[in-house]
Amino acid sequence: MASGFFALLDDIAALMDDVVVMSKITTKKTAGILGDDLAVNAEKATGFVSSRELPVLWAITKGSFLNKLIILPIAFLLSSFLPWAVTLILILGGVYLAYEGVEKIVEFFLPHKHDVLEVKDANPSEEDVLLMEKKKIKSAIFTDFILSIEIVIIALGTVLGKPILFQVLVVSIVAIIATIGVYGIVALIVRMDDLGYRFIKKSTNGKGFLANIGNILVKALPLVIKSLSVIGTIALILVAGGIFTHNIEFFHHLMETIPAFIKDAIVGLLVGFVALLVVKLFSMIFKGIKKQ
């Protein structure tokens, strides 16, 4: 009896060792998408009033955890019974990411009228601020949902063929690391200036090593925030393009002689422009029907 119990413990220890090793390998394989996830979500989490940055980020983080709780069991079921559905969902998510990335590019050169009005409103009411905040949080959580699908699918692909318990443990660990890691770094980015001011206050008369570091952090924040929008848009296009080139045979063999990241960018832009045109066309048709 005792020998059986210790044998069970030994099996559990061996399983956990294998899970840790495979989790490290899987995390490395998802490093690229995690970097894109960081850039996209950092851009989404910026632009709020200083006092609201952490509460907003916490709301997005909770939404991200909820996304993982929804995605994980569905991913395990689909991979077991409907593996083709996983690919289909992945491609549809890629279309959305490409659309959002291209829409940002188009809006940069051709801003919508309502965007101009929002900028001109120098003193928005508290109700308007909260409404814009909720919209941005909802958008961030939805984008996180699409990126979370990609992360989960990549992680799941590294442990296919393993026992279901092994799959659940490895993919769940990767999902938790992804959420905590990404939003932890985002929190550091959005509070960079506060950390800089604290260093300056702790320094001697605003001079010395701490003061220099603090000044660098304070001055760097505006540059980081401005670059996040560009980096996030590029990340959306590249992630989308990568989904298409890895899961659609036509795109996979297209332009094989050029570097992969350039190919992903071209494919992402093409699909994004087509998706944007389709959305605009249906929007015009809907508005025409509504006026009648």
Q: 234-254: per-residue pLDDT in tens? A: 877 888 888 898 888 888 888
3-class DSSP state of 35: helix
pLDDT at 20 over 70: no
Residue count of the chain, please give it.
292
pLDDT at 220 over 90: no
Phi, psi of 237 (to 5 degrees): -65, -45
Q: Where are the domains of the chain?
A: 19-189+223-291
* pLDDT one-digit tens code per residue, 161-187: 777 788 888 888 888 888 888 888 888
- Average pLDDT for 59-87: 87
Task: Tell me the per-residue pLDDT of 117-169, one tens digit each, with 9 for 90 and over.
Answer: 444 455 666 677 778 888 888 888 888 888 888 788 878 767 767 777 888 88
Two tokens at 286? 């809907």
Residue 41 burial (CB count, 10 A): 27
Say how far apart CA 78 and CA 72 lie, in whole Å.
Answer: 10
* pLDDT at position 113 over 60: no
Tell me the CB-side half-sphere exposure of residue 95, using CA atoms within 13 A.
13
